[in-house]
Structure 1
Amino acid sequence: MGSRYRRAALAGTVALAARALARRARHVRAVPPALRTPDLWLPLSIGSGAELRIGRRLFPRPTEPVAGVEVTRHDVPGGQDVFVYEPAGRARPTGALLWVHGGGTVIGRPEGDHDLCSRMARDLGIVVVSARYRLAPEHPFPAALDDLTAALRRLRDEAGALGVDPARIAVGGASAGGGLAAAVVQRAHDEGVPVAFQLLVYPMLDDRTVLRRSPAGRGHLVWTPRSNAYAWTAYLGHPPRADELRPYAAPARRLDLAGLPPAWIGVGDLDLFHDEDVAYARRLEAAGVPVELHVERGMYHAAELELQATVAPMRAFQQRVFDALAAGLATTRPA
């Protein structure tokens, strides 16, 4: 009797694994061949403290800055530290970008974006400031927002010493960094701190996505609904719910978007954040905010981070990011 039950249990386990593999195959087949990588077959997600600890050990790996860019580290009173990237031969004053790294608000560090930030500084001839912020769940909202707001204020206060035009300071980020950037911009607007432009790369904007059924074909790769629910719960300090009254906790919940700075929003059509990003772009536009929305066909969350060096569509996507920032900083707003 015992061996019969063991055989039945084994058969059930094999059947479940086969169904999971078939589902994964369907999701991978939805990705254009050029964007497929072996990692897409791995069911990666964060849904527990143990998985978070593993994720923090593995990701993100530090990257190296490109040649021709000086990188210095500075402490921020009332915040954390920042890295400042300044290209050689820069003709002062120039625009500047406050960059916010991604990682779901629970993982990440600015050292992982040394390559990206230094390339933005070099290619655009600007100062890039990449800020560290406290991570959830150890430090829930508003810890990260406070750290990043302090970094923005320090950048403005030291604009003259840095050779930065205070009328050409942008705030941007990717994934959770994009969502935090949007929140920083909203708070800066309300506190009378001018920002020229917001660069939102597949931003994590709306905790209510956790409460909705995932759209067919989206959110199955890299950043999943399970990870999203864990991350928002960690950041908010409670599971997402219909009411969230704290300003800036979830940027998409803000009712009045009028007066915010021009924005660029880019997201893949396979990304879990697609719907919330498109909705935010449309609401910005309806509020009279200049906004450019780019939806990349066949792109899953953060695909360009691994593939931008080798795959033409991802090189083009990242170039769109650079071009949008260049255009945004070319247009000044009152300082």
Structure 2
Amino acid sequence: MKVSNKMIDKQLRIRGKLFNLLINKSSEAKYIKFMHAINKRMEKQKGKAIEGLYSSQEWITRKDGSKLRICIYKPLNPKTDVPGVLWLHGGGYAQGIPETFADTYKRLIEASDCVIIAPDYRLSIEAPFPAALEDSYAALLWMKSHASELGIRDNQLIVGGESAGGGLTTALTHYARDKQEVNIAFQMPLYPMIDDRMITESAKDNNAPIWNSKTNRWAWKLYLGELFEKNVPAYAAAARATDYSNLPPTITFVGDIEPFRDETIMYVENLKRAGIPVYFELYKGCYHGFDIINPHAEISKKAISFFIRSFKLAVERYFAEQS
């Protein structure tokens, strides 16, 4: 899908161009080098407090003896018996840390007094699939087993994330459903990265700002490792799933000019056919991550409002049903 400047929302155009200049997309090697440089820079931000929130860290021991860092965010005056949200950060599976999504945490906490659990999962440039999924599931189990001390309801655990974090969200809900060790109340995979095949119209030859077909292919290659272009499991790319039964209610949105448009729409349609409630909106003229790139644009405000309003409604409905 070729994207012209006129197709982009006017308020998003300048930011999109500026961010494009920061990301070297000239070759796969330079893209990977850029990811390493970004991650090295982000290392300095680990453990940084978020103004207006109480924050702490915990470490979970993995099966191999290494440690998984968990970031915990609460209101300054925390309440008990509140929802617990496992938030999985984006970054093409290759870069990012929990600390960079402070605005999202603040919005979710303001809406519901929830507690945010954000794992610093292993990135694809160091450890490909299933490392990130394993870390996400370990964080989910830890969240359930520590619900009482966290002040959250163990029957209302929510999972969400944007982009690659959205992809991990969908994979985790499928995985948790099949493992039957923990129940997810609902999921929030925002413009999720879920189809490595790149066979949809929006994913083919997409040249939109921020994320396009080239970066998408490079990111999937890193994430899948030896599985790339082979028999990829649905736990790695949820668009490959065939069974959508017994999945949790879902909240998501996506822009209409980004690579993930069609795979998100198809995922939503598959959920609906399986009888799963879905809150979904498509935003015209929006490239990938538009709400983060320019949160003050009118279209971004609409998307953020839809997301938080849907989240609050889902929390209230679920709590009422369980009471």
TM > 0.5: yes
Answer yes or no: is 1:28 the counterpart of 2:5: yes
Cα separation, 2, equivalents of 1:265 and 1:196: 15
Q: Which amino acid aligns with 2:271?
A: L
Asked if residue 293 in structure 1 is aligned to residue 280 in structure 2, the reply is yes
- State the match for 2:32 in structure 1: 52
Match of 2:272, SS state, is helix
Q: Distance in 2 between matches of 1:139 and 1:66?
A: 28
Aligned equivalents of 1:282 and 1:125: distance in 2?
31
Name which of 272, 283, 299 aligns with 2:270: 283
Give deviations 1:158-210, integer Å, cap 9, x for gaps. Answer: 0011110111110000000000011111111111110001001100011111x
Please give the alpha-carbon distance, in whole angstroms, between the structure 1 residues aligned to 2:110 and 2:54. Answer: 10
Equivalent residue, structure 2, for 1:73: 57
Please state whether the residue corresponding to 2:270 is helix, strand or coil: helix
* Alignment correspondent of 1:9: none
Q: 1:138 to 1:66 in 2, by over 3 A?
A: closer
- Is 1:325 paired with 2:311? yes
Equivalent residues in 2 for 1:242-281, closer than 5 Å: 243-244=231-232, 246-281=233-268
Separation in 1, partners of 2:111, 2:203: 37
Residues 303/56 of structure 1: CA separation in 2 closer, same or farther (3 Å cut): farther
Aligned equivalent of 2:71, options 72, 78, 83: 83
**Contact in 2 for aligned 1:28/1:36 (Cα 8 Å):** yes
Which range moved further: 322-331 or 248-257?
322-331
Percentage of matched positions with identical amino acids: 29
1:163 and 1:124 mapped to 2: Cα distance? 13
**Which has the larger displacement, 234-243 or 137-146?**
234-243
Using the alignment, how far apart are the partners of 1:215 and 1:69 within structure 2?
38
Quickly say closer, same or farther: Cα 1:65–1:313, change in 2 above 3 A.
farther
**Which SS does the other structure have where 2:267 is aligned?**
helix
Distance 1:171 1:279, change over 3 A: same
Query: Is the partner of 2:104 in helix, strand or coil?
Result: helix
Please report how far the alpha carbon of residue 290 of structure 1 lies from its aligned counterpart in structure 2 after TM superposition.
Answer: 0.9
- How far residue 218 of structure 1 moved from its aligned partner, in angstroms, is 4.8
Give the deviation of 1:267 after TM superposition. Answer: 0.2
Number of the residue aligned with 1:126: 114
- 1:222 & 1:121 partners in 2: Cα distance? 28
- The runs of 5 or more residues in structure 2 that have no matched partner are none
C-alpha spacing 1:217/1:228, structure 2 compared with 1 (3 Å): closer
Match for residue 188 of structure 1 among 172, 176, 200: 176
In our comparison, the structure showing a higher alpha carbon Rg is: 1
2:202, 2:262 within 8 Å by CA — same for their partners in 1?
no
Amino acid at match of 1:201: L
Residue number in structure 2 paired with 1:313:
299
Displacement of 1:157 in angstroms is 0.4
Q: What is the CA-CA distance between 1:238 and the residue it aligns to? A: 3.7
**Against the structure 1 CA distance between its residues 215 and 154, is the aligned structure 2 distance closer, same or farther, given a 3 Å change threshold?**
closer
Deviation beyond 6 Å, 4+ runs, structure 1:
none
Write out aligned runs for 1:106-117 (5 A).
106-117=94-105
Matches of 1:214 and 1:47 in 2, distance apart? 21
Q: Give, as a single letter, the amino acid of the residue that structure 1 aligns with 2:30.
A: A
Deviation at 1:215, TM superposition (A): 6.0
In the aligned structure 2, how far is the partner of 1:220 from the partner of 1:38? 12
Comparing 272-281 with 134-143, greater Cα deviation is found at 134-143
Partner of residue 161 from structure 1, selected from 149, 161, 186: 149
2:229 to 241, 266, 273: 241
Q: Which runs of 5+ in 1 are unaligned?
A: 1-23
Q: 1:106 to 1:113 in 2, by over 3 A?
A: same
Is 1:203 aligned to residue 180 of structure 2? no
CA distance in 1, matches of 2:222, 2:112: 36
> What amino acid is aligned across from residue 317 of structure 1 in structure 2?
A
Distance 2:28 2:227 in 1: 14
Q: Per-residue deviation at 1:47? A: 4.5
Distance 1:266 1:99 in 2: 16
CA RMSD in angstroms, aligned pairs only: 2.6
With 220-229 and 322-331 compared, the bigger mean Cα shift is at: 322-331
Where do residues 8-19 of structure 1 align in structure 2 (5 Å cutoff)? none
Other-structure match for 1:5: none
Find the aligned partners of 1:208 and 1:283 in 2 and give their Cα distance.
Answer: 17
Partner of 2:211: 223
1:169, 1:329 within 8 Å by CA — same for their partners in 2?
Answer: no
3-state secondary structure, aligned to 1:237: helix
User: What are the superposed Cα offsets for residues 30-71 of structure 1, whole Å, 9 maximum, x if unpaired?
Assistant: 112112225426464374233222234347865976543101
1 CA distance for matches of 2:12 and 2:241?
Answer: 34
1:96 aligned partner? 84
Distance 1:123 1:46, change over 3 A: farther
In structure 2, what residue type is equivalent to 1:129?
I
**Is the CA contact 2:68–2:135 (under 8 Å) kept in the aligned structure 1?**
yes
